[in-house]
Amino acid sequence: MKKKISLVVYYALAQHLSSLPYIRFLYRFFISFRCVLCRNLFNKMGKNANIQPKVYFGDGSCISIGDNVGFGRGFTVHNTILNMGSNIMTAENVLIMGGDIGMTA
């Protein structure tokens, strides 16, 4: 139940919260809010993550990230297992797509 609530709150609200750096106190709060929700969604999540707005990752159950990982604005993952180590930062608008999801014709 906690995972479903986190998923709804993330996609309905948190992913749309702006991260404008000139509003310093809100900037940190919005990033922290997204990280708290993603900690409930991801398979594994290290410390000190930075998740920018408009990041899409499905239900997050196939995502594992290490420490000091940053997802740029518009980062998108579809139909794949994503395992990221530590100290990785992605650019904006990165798209990672998987292929076969176990379906047969």
Tens of pLDDT, residues 16-49:
888 666 666 788 889 999 999 999 999 999 999 9
Q: What is the CA radius of gyration of the chain?
A: 14
The residues that bridge with 96 in the sheet, in sequence order, are 77
The percentage of the chain sitting over the pLDDT mark of 70, rounded to a whole number, equals 88
pLDDT grade for 105, boundaries at 50, 70 and 90: very low
Largest CA distance in the chain: 52
CB count within 10 Å of CB 67 equals 13
How does pLDDT run across 42-101, given as a tens digit for each residue? Answer: 999 999 999 999 999 999 999 999 999 999 999 999 888 899 999 999 999 999 988 665
Q: Per 3-state DSSP, what percentage of the chain is helix, strand, and coil (rounded to 5)?
A: 30, 20, 50
- In terms of Cβ atoms closer than 10 Å to its own Cβ (0-12, 13-18, 19+), residue 66 is middle
